[in-house]
Amino acid sequence: MANHVLKGSERKPLKGARSLGKADPTERLEVTVLLRHRAADALGDHVKKLMGASGRPAHIKREDFAKQFGAEPADIQEVRKFASSHSLTVVQEDPARRSVVLAGTVAQFNRAFGVDLERFEHEGGTHRGRTGPIHLPDELNGKVEGVFGLDDRPQAKPHFRGQLRGNVQWHTASNSFTPIQVASLYNYPAGTGSGECIGIIELGGGYRPADLKTYFAGLGVPLPKVTAVSVDHGKNQPTGDPNGPDGEVMLDIEVAGAIAPAAHVAVYFAPNTDQGFLDAVTTAVHDTTNKPSVISISWGGPESSWTQQSLTAFDQAFQAAAALGITVCVAAGDGGSSDGATGNNVDFPASDPYVLACGGTSLQASGNSITSETVWNDGAQGGATGGGISTFFPLPPYQEGLSAALTAGGSEQLAKRGVPDVAGDADEDTGYDVRVDGSNTVIGGTSAVAPLWAGLIARINSTNGNPAGYVNPILYPNQADFNDITQGNNGTFAAATGWDACTGMGSPNGTKIAAALTGAAAKHKK
């Protein structure tokens, strides 16, 4: 009997959603069951040591991670027995990802997990959903840490800006840049990313190889190897609508690929649900075929829109990435200090302390020199860099003693994780020349900043022959390696000397960043 509440699994309806009645009991779905870590305490100790800037432990190899910290075989067997007792089918087991995927009908899952699935209508369409918590039987209580896929509401938004406001035409910037020009303005070190793999997470849309061929030929750089990886039946499916997710996919590939053209770009396509998003991240982190050393994520949503089980599960995935020596770069959002919700909000997964949260600036240049750089904020009807203070994640050691300057004056001492860590050009008026669905255009948004940083990390990793890994504890003591942004605000928070909740430590001086990471990378040989 499923009589134990799964902690943190409580769901509330989307704002403005209304129930259309019970979900079709014969509808088939797949659900991911997330199991506890083996040797969780040892993994926790390992990751805590990575928080320090010196004396950090060596990175763990992917092959060893599954043996040391993957799911217990006995726990997987319990899920198999549970599935059999409810006539559910086991369709996938992955000990490294600690996941077991089950297939069955709505009626079977209702009984198995003590839920009552319904159909809901919301502003963006309809979805299958639930309210309240998930329940577990005695034999799974304490062994299962999350159940994902019962609810298939859209979870995240892409963080790119490319439209004329109120119109479907593409925006044309007066002062746009190619990714190569931005890298030059930020003094990126020479390099091509040879031997590295950049993982990119996408929750919709797709790319057209012909567009990539045309784009990179126009830049005069080699066409990168791009591979689509299917997660939870997600696929490379261009919509033909450049205002849709295709813009996100092409921006990510073109920015990262232009900066690191010799790197292999692996694009993980998954459905836009909490299940799809999590499974894409864990697939990339534990991918023993493509082995990305850096992952770029340009999707997210306000922390308040996530369940606690999701926040915790993603955090565990990012801790695993840190232990494996993978750098995760995440866009901080385009909704300013509110993140498009009520009050102050930070965007997740950028707010996780194990990722490099990437905020946005407005960049002006003359020739090969930056003439000004301020916080990206296009006003109430435009976009603005995300940033602020988490309500969920504790203050990481590398941010101790920092304060967030307030637009109204004064500052707020950080009591929890501050966002972002770093920044880069994101203003659509000073955006990136890209190609989407057969058209050349200009796109901005913090979506561009995550692959911009991922490309830098790929160059550094390639040159060093070692992965930089979890870079936050290394970068914070080296704030002189950044272009400090001291003008502008994102709503509640203002730019200030040093770290601030708009642009973090600032935009990169790539050569100095490379020097700071080189010493650390030498201690983490593969």
Structure tokens at 375: 């916080």
**Helices 245-259, 209-219: crossing angle, 10 deg rounding:** 40
Of 259, 205, 246, 223, give the one whose Cα is nearest residue 424: 259
> Which of 383, 389, 390, 388 minimizes the C-alpha distance to 340?
383
Measured CA to CA in angstroms, residue 432 lies from 155, 174, 424, 425 at distances of 26, 11, 12, 9
Q: Are 215 and 434 in contact (CB under 8 A)?
A: yes
Separation of alpha carbons 412 and 389, rounded Å? 9
CA neighbor of 327 nearest in space, from 358, 281, 295? 295
Say if residues 130 and 115 touch (Cβ distance below 8 Å).
yes
Closest Cα to residue 426, out of 120, 145, 212, 176?
176
Active-site residue identified among 248, 287, 421, 481: 248
Please say if 248 is a catalytic residue.
yes
Q: Alpha-carbon distance 28 to 104, whole Å?
A: 5
d(CA 489, CA 201): 29
Cα–Cα distance, 38 to 461 (Å, whole number):
30
Q: Quick check: is 145 catalytic? A: no
- 488 has which bridge partners? none
Catalytic residue among 293, 337, 447, 462: 447
Mutual angle of helices 245-259 and 449-464, in 10-degree steps = 30
- Rounded Cα–Cα distance for residues 285 and 204 (Å): 19
* b/e burial code for range 117-151 (CB count within 10 A of at least 16 → b): bbbbebeeeebbbbeebbbbbeebeebbbbbbbbb
Backbone angles phi, psi at 467, to 5 degrees: -75, 140
Choosing from 252, 274, 339, 425, the catalytic residue is 252
What tokens were used for 178?
Answer: 């190619």
Q: Which two three-digit tokens encode residue 370?
A: 């930056």
CA distance 503 to 356: 12
User: 400 catalytic, yes or no?
Assistant: no
Query: What does the alpha-carbon distance between residue 115 and residue 31 come to, in Å, rounded to a whole number?
Result: 13
Write phi, then psi, for 155 (nearest 5 degrees): -100, -35
Active site residues: 248, 252, 447
